[in-house]
Chains A and B, each alone.
Chain A
Amino acid sequence: MHPARKQRLILVSLVVVLSSAAIGLVAFALRDNINLFYPPADVVAGKAPTDRSIRLGGMVVAGSIERSNSELDTIFWVTDYEASVPVRYSGILPDLFAEGEGVVAEGTLDESGMLIATQVLAKHDENYMPPEVAAALEGKTAPAEQPVLP
């Protein structure tokens, strides 16, 4: 290879490697800010700020949803299978919100450790299947197939 081209090739490779390393380090340093939500274990451990709005993400505990009879208020527990946090939300929940499914709730923590949510989003998983397949799976291996958060 021509020496001038070889030098340019090395220079181009260096640009790619060094800029990737720089941006990688920045992303690594900012990892707490890039995470969209706190898992319940971090909230219970006191790692989440209590003076401002945070997002909490996890699975809705099966059997924990309590709906008010007269208002839109809903109370449910969110878990990452290590710890659980109660959430209170007054508003319309997304269609995919259900027990045992993923959820991301935004709001502030009160003194008792309950999240007073201003927005609740459903976090669905990567599984897609026809209803018949889901029904067949439900009959056989439903309890074993509990999704676990990353």
Chain B
Amino acid sequence: MWTIIHKMGSPPWFFRFSGGLVKWLLPLTVCLLLVGAVWGLLIAPPDFRQGNSYRIIYIHVPSAVVALAGYYVMAFAGAVSLVWRIKMADVTMRAVAPVGAALTAIALVTGAIWGKPTWGTWWVWDARITSMLILLFLYLGVVALFEAYENKSAAARACAVLTLVGTVNIPIIYKSVDWWYSLHQPASIKFTGESAIDPSMLYPLLLMIGAFYCLFAVTVLLNMRAELAWNHRDASWLKQLVQGT
């Protein structure tokens, strides 16, 4: 157990391991995205009230779900960075932030596009949408804070504290539609009991959520590899790896 963790902290080992992982994770992501998109956008039936406009759910929900889950990855890396001072945790935190920001932005934009034909407005300051906007600012804040420091380990510490303080926002986003009166409807996919979405629409949605998780993993790994390659650009193991294979 501890040897694996020690290995993961070693850049040469991680660089080789992630290279192999990306090699099969990237085609898998593309396949899942294609199958999910075709199934959701073309094969799944239209909704009884919203018609075809509900199909934006196949982008909106996966990006929102992974944006929330990705924050916990960043927060966990932040905690590891603060307590154990592992450089790899800093690299992880920095790699997650722009991906999470992009996913949150996609969720907000698709939500606005969906809101116009269904609710009748692009934007409303309800609890779900506002807390999601705060999530976007948290992600962007981490990106900006990393750039604001000359000293990378000081930057990582400041970002870790910001990230950890922001974790409270995740359960707030998730439960906002139950705790307060909001325009956004409650969750359709339920962990316990029957989901409020028909199975013929649910399966492609679950597939797309899986596809977005893979997409997140691939982009974060590629980000980490780019960062590691830059940090160790003069290291002999990297030269060997690049020239050797």
Binds A, one of B17-25, B139-147, B194-202: B194-202
Question: Is A121's CB under 8 angstroms from B50's CB?
Answer: no
Chain B, 76-128, CB within 8 A of any chain A CB:
79, 82-84, 117-121, 124-127
Take A36-B181, A39-B181, A96-B49 as given contacts and tell me if A128 and B168 are in contact as well, using a CB distance cutoff of 8 Å: no
Counting CB contacts under 8 A, is A142 at the interface? no
Which chain B residues (21-49) contact chain A, with CB distance < 8 Å?
A: 45-49
Bound together, the chains give a CA A38 to CA B180 distance in angstroms of: 11
Kindly state whether residue B186 has any CB partner on chain A within 8 Å.
yes
Within the complex, what minimum Cβ distance (angstroms) separates B204 from chain A?
A: 12
Contact A15 to B165, CB < 8 A, known contacts A129-B48, A130-B48? yes
B126: which A residues are within 8 A, CB to CB? Answer: 36
Whether B48 lies near A122 (C-beta < 8 A) is no
**Residue contact A125 to B181, C-beta cutoff 8 Å:** no
Check A124 against B49 for contact (C-beta < 8 Å). Answer: yes
A19-27, A46-54, A67-75, A108-116: which lies at the B interface? A19-27
A8 near B196: Cβ-Cβ < 8 Å = no
CB of A59 within 8 A of chain B? no
Chain A: CB-nearest residue to B176? A34
In Å, the complex CA distance between A31 and B57 comes to 29
Whether A131 pairs with B120 at a CB distance below 8 angstroms is: no
CB contact between B188 and one of A39, A97, A120, A128 (< 8 Å): that residue: A128
- Once the chains are docked, how many angstroms separate the CA of A127 from the CA of B54? 11
Collect the chain B residues with CB atoms within 8 Å of residue A104's CB.
183
Contact residues in A for B82 (Cβ distance below 8 Å):
8, 11-12
A90 within 8 A of B: no
Cα of A68 to Cα of B239 in the assembled complex, Å: 78
B69 CB–A CB distance under 8 Å: no
- Tell me, in angstroms, the Cα distance from A99 to B169 when the chains sit together: 36
Contact with B along A16-46 (1 / 0, CB 8 A): 1001100110010001001111110000000
Q: A5-B84, A35-B180 known; A126 and B124 CB under 8 Å?
A: no
- When each residue 177-194 of chain B gets 1 if its CB lies under 8 Å from chain A and 0 otherwise, what string results? 011111101111000000
The answer, among B161, B172, B179, B188, for a CB contact under 8 Å with A127, is B188
- Given A5, A16, A96, A132, which contacts B167 in the complex, CB threshold below 8 Å? A16
From residue A8, how far is it (CB to closest CB) to chain B in Å? 5
Residues of A within 8 A of B54 (CB): 128
Contact A34 B167 (CB under 8 A): no
For B197, list chain A residues within 8 Å (CB): 126-129
Q: Which residues of B contact A94 (CB under 8 A)?
A: 118-120
Instruction: List 3 A-B pairs, minimum CB-CB distance, nearest first.
Output: A94-B120, A134-B48, A130-B45
Given contacts A16-B168, A121-B121, A124-B185, 4 further A-B pairs with CB under 8 A are A35-B127, A95-B117, A122-B118, A130-B198
A sample of 21 inter-chain contacts (CB < 8 A) reads A5-B83, A9-B83, A15-B165, A16-B79, A20-B167, A24-B168, A34-B180, A35-B127, A94-B119, A94-B120, A96-B50, A120-B120, A121-B124, A122-B118, A127-B197, A128-B47, A128-B201, A130-B47, A130-B200, A134-B49, A150-B181
